[in-house]
């Protein structure tokens, strides 16, 4: 047994489930227990389980047989400690989370998740002094600071297989098929699966598209005797007009956020002053949940202009937006005169067993995390860089997103083989 600065750690999985999570939990638990004699605790359902003190002991038996299992044996949620729905209200539960971590004598809280989880972990460290470590999980591959996140490879394989299968109907019926893949605001999943599956058009958020150009490309293919086409579209892809509108909205939102940050800073100063002067701190008022009307009005800003107009004209709160891929297929059918169909892969991409690559990556990351904990390295993300797992300070990665650079070599190589990006 080797010596360890960490005696007890807690593990939680937060955000969307992803292939490879169980493989990481297994690797951390085995290495932490068997090599360093640490106590390992599993927190159920992400940060919510920490707040609600739903914490179990992990051991060889609990992590046995989970290497190949999809999802997460711990359960997950998208709840944030600082704004958690509790009894019909949104409450700041940071203190409760910290209290439970301390009560179980956790030297470090290991959080497996994407960018949002890293932010929440960072906040817990900054606001409550809880040591944290994060491991990058997401099928979107958009976590900043790591070459790749676990779960991505599996999702690429699933989406590629789907595109392969869609070729059957596309070629037989001489159709256009729009295949929507996940990826949130990044195009990694569409780019990789689109190239691997031989999609004729790949649309990603980083390269806003022009419908007319896509239609012209599809017609040209037809003139050259190719009577079918597959269009792989990332869920976050936008037309050039939509991208310009979104950029303008973002500018306004950023201004509001800056104002909020200033207010937060003032509050922190006030709290510190009160503490220094020995004044009892006024308990924070629980945040009232937004009323239905307010919540819908907030969403309105994210709607395309035509739906916004409908929203205003009807004064109706429940506007159903046409799914993006279906809108795209409808426009392309109208512009080309070719029959179009849509397939949205959705959560299928997160399901089932992880690929060999994801199992290996997860095992490497988990084992390295345990070693770093033994050394007492906290408040870092375990990143995968140039084939190695390395610690990266959390403050260097939090709040940033890894998007596809528009001059990425994969975009270049896809263009070389004749793929259209609609730009
Ligand atoms: O971040 C992973 C992801 O699958 C995204 O690709 C997608 O936008 C989102 O989660 C879907 O979230 P949910 O499972 O909450 O619908």
For residue 319, pLDDT over 60 is answered with no
Concerning whether 140 is annotated as a catalytic residue, the answer is: yes
- The residue-averaged pLDDT of 164-173 equals 98
For residue 348, pLDDT over 90 is answered with yes
pLDDT tens per residue across span 268-311: 888 788 878 887 555 555 455 445 455 445 555 556 555 565 55
For residue 195, what are its two tokens?
Answer: 């190239």
For residue 317, pLDDT over 50 is answered with no
What pLDDT does 275 receive?
Answer: 79
pLDDT band at 375 (very low <50, low <70, confident <90, very high): very high
- The residue-averaged pLDDT of 206-211 equals 98
Name the phi and psi angles at 367, rounded to 5. -65, -40
- The residue-averaged pLDDT of 189-201 equals 98
For residue 248, pLDDT over 90 is answered with yes
Q: Which of 13-17, 227-231, 300-304, 335-339 has the lowest mean pLDDT?
A: 300-304
What pLDDT does 282 receive?
Answer: 55
- The residue-averaged pLDDT of 368-396 equals 98
Atom of ligand 1 nearest to the CA of 184: 8
Ligand 1, residues 182, 193, 344, 351: which to mutate, most atoms within 8 A of Cβ?
A: 182
What is the C-alpha to C-alpha distance for residues 74 and 394, in angstroms, rounded to an integer?
A: 24
Cα(265) to centroid of ligand 1, in Å? 32
Q: To 10 degrees, what angle do helices 188-197 and 152-173 make?
A: 50
- The two beta strands, 380-385 and 39-43, are unpaired
- The residue-averaged pLDDT of 307-317 equals 54
Q: How many CA atoms, within 13 angstroms, populate the side-chain half-sphere of residue 422? A: 27
Cα(16) to centroid of ligand 1, in Å? 6
pLDDT band at 265 (very low <50, low <70, confident <90, very high): confident
What pLDDT does 307 receive?
Answer: 56
For residue 386, pLDDT over 60 is answered with yes
Atom of ligand 1 nearest to the CA of 15: 1
For residue 43, pLDDT over 50 is answered with yes
Strand extents, DSSP E, 33-131: 39-43, 55-57, 84-86, 89-91, 108-113
């Amino acid at each position: 047994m080797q010596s360890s600065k960490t005696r007890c750690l807690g593990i939680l999985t937060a955000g969307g489930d992803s292939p490879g999570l169980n493989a990481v939990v297994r690797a951390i638990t085995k290495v932490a227990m068997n090599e360093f004699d640490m106590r390992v605790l599993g927190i159920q359902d992400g940060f919510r389980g920490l707040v609600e003190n739903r914490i179990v002991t992990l051991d060889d038996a609990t992590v046995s047989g989970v290497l190949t299992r999809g999802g997460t044996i711990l359960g997950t949620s998208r709840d944030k400690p600082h704004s958690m729905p509790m009894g019909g209200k949104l409450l700041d539960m940071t203190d409760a989370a910290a209290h439970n971590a301390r009560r179980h004598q956790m030297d470090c809280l290991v959080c497996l998740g994407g960018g949002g989880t890293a932010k929440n972990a960072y906040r817990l460290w900054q606001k409550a002094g809880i040591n944290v470590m994060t491991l990058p999980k997401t099928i979107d591959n958009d976590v900043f600071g790591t070459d790749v996140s676990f779960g991505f490879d599996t999702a690429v394989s699933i989406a590629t297989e789907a595109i392969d299968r869609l070729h059957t109907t596309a070629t037989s019926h001489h159709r256009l098929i729009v295949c929507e893949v996940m990826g949130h605001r990044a195009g990694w999943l569409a780019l990789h699966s689109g190239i691997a599956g031989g999609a004729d058009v790949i649309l990603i958020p980083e390269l806003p598209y022009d419908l007319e150009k896509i239609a012209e490309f599809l017609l040209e293919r037809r003139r050259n005797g190719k009577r079918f086409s597959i269009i792989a579209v990332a869920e976050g892809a936008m037309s050039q007009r939509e991208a310009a509108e979104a950029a303008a909205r973002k500018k306004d939102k950023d201004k509001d956020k800056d104002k909020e940050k200033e207010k937060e800073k003032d509050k922190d100063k006030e709290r510190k002053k009160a503490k220094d002067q020995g004044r009892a701190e006024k308990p924070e008022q629980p945040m009232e949940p937004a009323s239905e009307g307010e919540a819908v009005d907030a969403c309105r800003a994210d709607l395309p202009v035509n739906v916004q107009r409908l929203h205003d004209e009807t004064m109706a709160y429940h506007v159903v937006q046409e799914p993006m891929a279906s809108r795209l297929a409808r426009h392309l059918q109208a512009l080309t005169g070719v029959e179009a169909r849509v397939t949205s892969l959705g959560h299928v991409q997160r399901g089932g067993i992880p690929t060999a690559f994801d199992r290996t990556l997860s095992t490497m990351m988990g084992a390295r995390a345990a070693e770093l904990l033994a050394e007492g390295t906290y408040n870092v993300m375990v990143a995968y860089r140039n084939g190695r797992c390395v610690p990266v300070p959390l403050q260097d990665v939090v709040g940033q997103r890894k998007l596809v650079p528009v001059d990425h070599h994969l975009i270049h190589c896809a263009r070389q083989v004749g793929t259209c990006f609609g730009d």
